Amino acid sequence: MHETKQVNHCICCDVTECTHHAGTQDYCTLQTIHVEKHEPNATQSKCTDCASFESRSSM
């Protein structure tokens, strides 16, 4: 059975390598995401990542 994913217009995303990407639209299909920091003191966006990312290639 093929599952249709709902586009979440509240979460913009252009990471097409993620299984949660909406495909033809730059949005996420998750209801919520988890953003984590990988620096003790996050002072720039590059200090954070989407921890909800799942690679399409690993699915």
What does the DSSP assignment read for the chain?
-PPPPPPEEEEE---TTBTTB-SSSSEE-SS---EEESSSS--SGGGEEETT--BGGG-
Whether the pLDDT of residue 4 is over 90: the answer is no
Q: What is the pLDDT of residue 1?
A: 46
What total of structural domains would you count in the chain?
1
Residue 59 has a pLDDT of 59
- Report if residue 38 sits inside a domain: yes
pLDDT in tens, 5-53: 899 999 999 999 999 999 999 999 999 999 999 999 999 999 999 999 9
Range of the domain at 22: 8-58
In a domain, 1, yes or no: no
Residue 3 lies in a domain: no
pLDDT at 5: 83
Inside any domain, residue 32: yes
